[in-house]
Structure 1
Amino acid sequence: MSDINNAEPKTKECGYLYLTITALLIAIFSAGLTLMIASYMYHGSYEPFELPPEVTTSNVKRMIVSHKKVILFKIEAKNRCYILPSTMSKEIAFSKFSFVNSALTKELLLDVADYEGVEFCGSTPAYILEKSKPQQ
């Protein structure tokens, strides 16, 4: 009779152990799934670069700074100056580009595009274009 009474508390303890392990596994699985979904949905601070419909070739100016290997585009309709590495210029027709939301400082613009680029962009904010990462 004493064996039956001792078996019941052990069974009860095993039940709590299995319940605790199951709850921990569910919590870990939920956290992992949440992180995977969040990383899938988060694309950084990039914003798709699309020319507005009012932009025509007449109000887009282009300048090549060959010794810095960059191409500058000044779009007056958006009041922005974009910098594209010349190595990516052949991809412009069939690729999507993004730009970082923060404009370059004059010092960074000077470093990236030299005095010619600073003069070309003037007071217009300058942004660096880069190839968009494919969305999954």
Structure 2
Amino acid sequence: MPASSTTRIVVAALAAFVLSATYYGVVVGTVWHELSGASADAFAPWQPIAQIIRNLVVAYALDYILLRTSAVGVLASLQISFRLWLGFQAMAIIGSVIHEGYPVILYCVHAFDALMTVAVMTICLRANLRKQAT
């Protein structure tokens, strides 16, 4: 994998990590803790590392898909990413609502985080690619 691809993927994964950490820590932290039953004390030191690895895999897959589409530019890439989010991430998460009685509000919290993650990754992957092409 060329260094430029690696750099774009790492930047996308880290940007998504910071955005999600801010979202869960500042924006929806209290609601998320109450609805999920997760305790702030239950934080494990390996979780951020696991999340970054997860983000790297998602960014790699997203980069692969976007590079192989006819999308030119950030807006067209965001349209593809939105469809990927809707068809896969949003539908996978809603399975918990349907089958496990997962609270709808908690679904919304996680689905919105997934949408933000895909959007910021797409912007990082495509904006950096565009700069390299000019």
TM-score (norm 2): 0.23
Report the structure number with the largest CA radius of gyration: 1
More RCO (CA 8 Å, sep 6+): 2
TM-score (norm 1): 0.22
1 or 2, which has the higher helix percentage? 2
